[in-house]
Amino acid sequence: MTTKIKIYIAIGTTLFLIIAGYSFWSSIQMRRLERAANDAKTIAAERQQRADELESSSRKYEEKIAYLEANLAELQTLARKQDEELRNIETTTGNARRDVERARRIRSAAATAEELCRKLAEVGHGC
């Protein structure tokens, strides 16, 4: 074998080793990137599932809020009616108290006039 052939063989072997090393390194990088992509897909799927769960629970809360708002509106209407009834009751109660006081004064005056007539009768004077 001549020196020229040996140099060609050495260059060929070197090129083969470089290409084989690059191919090996490239396949390692590809596996690493594929693993990272699969991990990212798994994480994305988990996060999507969590987002779906949160969206579902938020819909439930929105329904509860709507239900409670409807109940609140009904309670406000009921409270207004009860306030009006209380005002009417207060008016009626005030009128009844005034009537009672008026009746007490009239009875007191009648009792006083009765006592006066009796005392006058005791003394000998008529009413």
**Rounded CA separation 117/113 (Å):** 6
Which sequence spans correspond to the domains of the chain?
Answer: 1-127
Give 35: exposed, middle or buried? Use CB within 10 Å, 0-12, 13-18, 19+: exposed
* Residues contacting 117, CB < 8 A, separation 6+: 127
**Rounded CA separation 112/119 (Å):** 10
Compute mean pLDDT per 10 residues along the chain, 127 residues long, and list them. Answer: 89 93 94 96 97 96 96 96 94 88 69 73 74
pLDDT at 43: 97
State pTM to two decimals. Answer: 0.47
**Rounded CA separation 89/97 (Å):** 12
